[in-house]
Homo-oligomer: A and B are copies of this chain.
Amino acid sequence: MKFYDCKTAPSPRRVRMFIAEKGLDIETVQIDLMSGEQFSDTYSAINPDQVVPALQLDSGSCLTEALAICEYLEAEHPDPSLFGRNSVERGKAVMWNCKAEQQGLWAVAEAFRNSVPGLKDRALPGPDPYPQIPELAERGRARYLQFARRLNQQLASNEFLAGDYFSIADITALVTVDFAKRLKLPGPAEASNLDRWHASVSSRPSARA
């Protein structure tokens, strides 16, 4: 099994943290997104979607999409659970993971990919070129602010995003917030619950992954 990663990119960090929380040791290959290695013939043969993360199984077939890789690893290595401890908790973990992706991570990615000069005509990851849309960068910043406000509200009465248990939703949200911080996107003026959660989740050894 081989994990295709890029140490500086947010999406594969979700899987790195998941692997670290599970205590797994998986051979890892770095793909240099800065030099466009994801578009090379070698990597395209492994993952035609030309994105990281990807997990090549021993059978040779390849799993892509951070959530799918994590679901596979969860099914293979159920303990400690990162998808909740029962059906309801699973539903809530996946719900908050979806929200963190759609309202958070994709919004920050839109702010990033539609404004950085180096990504001209690469406004979306993958093989197809799409031009940048400046309004989408602006909308991404506005959406991140709203997302961070909702996180702060949810964390007022919950230790972790989905309740009293650490889950994949916290991983996705932490990666999102750290990505937004790196881009210096404005967050809410009052964010004491978010700050408390961020300090707590960041202190986990997996957060260094």
A binding-site residues for B, Cβ under 8 Å: 49, 55, 57, 59, 61, 63-65, 67-69, 71-72, 75-76, 86-88, 90-92, 94-95, 97-99, 103, 124, 126, 128, 130-131, 133, 135-136, 139, 142-143, 146
Query: In the complex, are the beta carbons of B146 and A139 less than 8 A apart?
Result: no
Contact A92 B68 (CB under 8 A): yes
Residues of B within 8 A of A103 (CB): 126
Can you name 14 A-B residue pairings with CB atoms under 8 Å? A49-B99, A63-B92, A65-B94, A67-B98, A71-B90, A72-B87, A72-B88, A72-B90, A75-B86, A75-B91, A133-B133, A133-B135, A133-B136, A135-B135
Q: Are A67 and B94 in contact (CB under 8 A)?
A: yes
Contact in complex: A87, B98 (CB < 8 Å): no
Say which residue of B59, B88, B124 sits within 8 Å of A57 (CB atoms). Answer: B88
A136 / chain B contacts, CB cutoff of 8 Å? 133, 136
The A interface is mostly helix, strand or loop, or mixed, namely helix
Complexed CA–CA distance, A130 and B86 (Å):
37
Closest 9 CB pairs of A and B: A72-B91, A68-B95, A75-B87, A65-B98, A68-B94, A71-B94, A63-B91, A65-B95, A76-B87
Shortest C-beta distance, A152 to chain B (Å), equals 14
Nearest B residue to A99, CB-CB: B65
Q: Which B residue sits closest to A133, measured CB to CB?
A: B135
CB distance from A14 to the nearest CB of B (A): 12
Distance in angstroms between the alpha carbons of A204 and B113 in the assembled complex: 40
Contacts of A69 in B (CB 8 A): 91
